[in-house]
Structure 1
Amino acid sequence: MPTRHLGVVLKGYPRLSETFIAQELRELEARGFTLTLFSLRHPTDLERHPVHDEIRAHVIYLPEYLYQEPWRVLRATLAALRRPAALWATWRLFLSDLVRDFTPNRVRRFGQALVLAAECPPEIEQLYVHFIHTPGSVTRYAARLTGLPWAASAHAKDVWTQPEWEIRAKLADMQWLATCTRANHDYLSALPEGRGKVHLVYHGISFARFPPPPTAPAARDGSDPARPVELLSVGRAVAKKGYDDLLAALATLPAGLSWRLTHIGGGALLAELKHQAETLGLTDRIRWLGALPQQEVLAAYRTADLFVLPCKVVDDGDRDGLPNVLMEAQSQAVCCLSTRLSGIPELIEDGVSGVLVEAGDVAALGTELTRLMADPGLRQRLAQAGAARVRSEFAMERGIERLLDCFDPPPPATEAACPVSPSTPH
């Protein structure tokens, strides 16, 4: 029988930038699961997506910083002392990790795990965590304290910025791990502890929430200043999104080409990017709208001529996996320009269903921006191919079915859980 009451551990909830997680939670509830959410952080977004209001799960916010709720941490510690064997085993595990990662964050993870274990409803049968770095550590300690099995979903930063020793230790402890790109899958499943445990599960998107656009895209080619080509990018203002490269590329475009860029998303680098745009003389051509709810993002897709997301790898190894915003844009028949990075080529076939350039290549990005802006016919052909591909290969329902196979694996005599379908794109 599948697990029916899950404790789901999240870094923060709700978050506008993690629609794919909310979508999954909603679908798990629709398939009969009861969820209790444990969030390591309180929400910071002022808005919510409609899907958040459809999720019925109770949310328990763990102490974001231990000193803020000392009595809660103390009560959890006293509760753990009533299970000395489990506490001692978890303490030894924590100390082993602390020797290798002697940081306050490591101590906070252990404290949060104590609270999670103490406040975990007794009916929970399994813990399941999104992101295997900090949330994964909290879940691993809590699972050891409670004796519950645990599983995980890995995405991007949590895979590529975490030391290999820690990933291997977590893989050894967990039941299974789902990940959303073939690049992640190949890396994680090649680790000895990952063999047979790592499964490729694309998030996909809900076409009920992203139905086909009601009208065909405009035929703007940048020749009329009154009708500039509408560029759109949706993503947090963080280094791995490559927005500094985008601004540098926009500064190289021909003077006679009329365009306007709309950016949707919050992020720590917004002020820095606005300053860069001002330095490059681009301020009047760019609208910075900040984070917006899903219905407003959908409206923006439907007025865009070209979607641009020049993702790249940053110094600490952080990178995107397969950004859902690319699927969302393609679902609205918007031509996409991105980079050959991580799982993006699994979605966009260069020259067939969109255009890809090498990550960090500003000159190539500028060249393709110029070519695509000036040729609405080419944009439309690529956009239609992208829309067909995302609908055939990246429907949310396909990913949910594979995830359900992970929670409810077949008997040992049959194939392993979460098989990668022969039709899964490479």
Structure 2
Amino acid sequence: MTRTLAVVLKGYPRLSETFIAQELLGLERRGLSLRLVSLRHPTDTKTHPVHAEIAAPVTYLPEYLHDDPARMLRAWRTVRGWPRYAETRRLWLRDLRRDPTRNRVRRWGQALVLAAEMPSDVEAVYVHFLHTPGSVGRYAARLLGLPLSISAHARDIWTIPDWEKAEKLADTRWTVTCTASGAAHLDGLAPGRVRLLYHGFDLDRFPAPDPVPQSARDGTDAADPVRLLAVGRAVPKKGFDLLLRALAALPPAAHWRLVHIGGGKERDGLKALAAELGLADRIDWQGARDQAEVLEAYRAADLFVLPCRVDADGDRDGLPNVLMEAQSQGLACLSTRLSGIPELIVEDDTGALVEPEDIAALTAVLAALIADPARRAALGAAGMARVRSAFDNRAGLDRLAALFLEDDEPAPP
């Protein structure tokens, strides 16, 4: 039985990782004591209300080794004489030969600091994301002789080599992941180590609107255009450039307005593309918003659009929480047949799906849904019923807490 966990995170807190914050709070409410460890300081200027409710203290590791060389040296001096140091260093050197990058060196340094400064009451290491945090957590757990568990998500599953995934999975007591497609891929690398566990979402923070907003907008009134909403970081895998091109291809008689919520490195490029396509005056780029503001945006919109795709480096979404949030408010959703999205959206029943990268299909479905408020209402109602019955996060949190509180399986050697 494990009651005190060190939880290793890439960055904390992050607006785009509400699902992690909800999980942390849920684990605390189920009796676990957490010690949060972040590989980097937050870059968001806002937080969600859930972050203020989490009691766990946060330790920030040096993001770059030159940031705090004295801390690094103290850590190395502390751990170099430990019984598992030589074995763990050999493991890291083997990884470094296959991945000779600065990032791999940084992971080792962060792991030394994590191990040296680990609170004495910690009984296990739990990591969100299989890639960089997974390496830091794995090396530190090895040094300390603590059991390791990992929660894998999306980018971390699809953008690191199979040898690395297989070896990390083999070192875990168990690994959970949030889509059936991801679970099948990882289980093929480490049979029996991986469990499917949907994050779900917190229904209490997204109460059903009363009444559910109904809109008669059909795109024929220029003074009252159909309200489109897209929420997500401006990064290639979200497909917002595809959305802009699809919107530009809509018939001139279709009147719409798009609100985008989210930060991201591609935001300026998307604004430039919108201007190039003649759409600049029809899009409201709102930037990052907190949970209450996003909830208000869901309730004001007529159609939610998220045309996810596979990025050039293999990165992709798993099961975007924003789709669940939008559906929880009775908002019709249009997305793509990718990863875990079809596990949430039952096509032509609880939402609409097109193939990734298919701009023509995206344009056609957008045009049809903009013109058909009754269809949007039917999809929204069915989506709300499904997400509230099948994706309540309380069941998943109960299962996850039970893995820690009841699983006495020894850690792999």
TM-score interval w.r.t. the shorter chain? Answer: over 0.9
Equivalent residues in 2 for 1:199-238 (5 A)?
199-215=195-211, 216-238=213-235
Tell me the distance in 1 between the aligned counterparts of 2:271 and 2:41: 28
Tell me the distance in 1 between the aligned counterparts of 2:133 and 2:408: 30
Q: Which amino acid aligns with 1:9?
A: V
TM-score normalized by structure 1? Answer: 0.95
Match of 2:261 in 1: 264
Match of 1:72 in 2: 71
Deviation string 1:237-265 (CA, Å, 9 cap, x unpaired) is 00000011000000000101110000000
Match of 2:30 in 1: 31
Match of 2:379 in 1: 382
Match of 1:112 in 2: 110
State yes or no: 1:181 paired with 2:195.
no
Q: Which amino acid aligns with 1:146?
A: L
Q: Which amino acid aligns with 1:373?
A: I
State yes or no: 1:91 paired with 2:77.
no
Q: CA deviation at 1:411?
A: 7.9
Contact 2:309 2:316 in 1 (8 A): yes
Contact 2:261 2:288 in 1 (8 A): yes
Q: Which amino acid aligns with 2:29?
A: A
Q: CA deviation at 1:97?
A: 0.2
Tell me the distance in 2 between the aligned counterparts of 1:401 and 1:393: 15
Contact 2:3 2:405 in 1 (8 A): no
Q: Which amino acid aligns with 2:96?
A: L
Tell me the distance in 2 between the aligned counterparts of 1:333 and 1:158: 31
Tell me the distance in 2 between the aligned counterparts of 1:172 and 1:348: 33
Gaps of 5+ in 1: 413-426
Equivalent residues in 2 for 1:23-422 (5 A)?
23-83=22-82, 85-191=83-189, 194-215=190-211, 216-409=213-406
Deviation string 1:280-331 (CA, Å, 9 cap, x unpaired) is 0000000111111100000000000000000000111110000000000000
SS at match of 2:288: coil
Deviation string 1:367-404 (CA, Å, 9 cap, x unpaired) is 00000010000000010000000011100111112212
Tell me the distance in 1 between the aligned counterparts of 2:372 and 2:252: 17
Match of 1:6 in 2: 5
Tell me the distance in 2 between the aligned counterparts of 1:101 and 1:273: 33
Q: Which amino acid aligns with 1:151?
A: S
Deviation string 1:51-100 (CA, Å, 9 cap, x unpaired) is 000000000000000101000000000000231x3110111000000000
Which range moved further: 326-335 or 220-229?
220-229
SS at match of 2:300: coil
TM-score normalized by structure 2? Answer: 0.98
Deviation string 1:400-423 (CA, Å, 9 cap, x unpaired) is 1221232244688xxxxxxxxxxx
Tell me the distance in 1 between the aligned counterparts of 2:196 and 2:17: 19
Deviation string 1:127-158 (CA, Å, 9 cap, x unpaired) is 00000100000000001111111100000000
Contact 1:16 1:47 in 2 (8 A): yes
CA root-mean-square deviation: 1.0
**Matched length:** 408
Q: CA deviation at 1:197?
A: 1.3
Tell me the distance in 2 between the aligned counterparts of 1:399 and 1:249: 36
Q: CA deviation at 1:102?
A: 0.3
Contact 1:217 1:303 in 2 (8 A): no
SS at match of 2:374: helix
Tell me the distance in 2 between the aligned counterparts of 1:411 and 1:161: 32
Tell me the distance in 2 between the aligned counterparts of 1:213 and 1:107: 50
Contact 2:3 2:404 in 1 (8 A): no
Match of 1:424 in 2: none
Gaps of 5+ in 2: none
Tell me the distance in 1 between the aligned counterparts of 2:214 and 2:318: 28
Q: CA deviation at 1:232?
A: 0.3
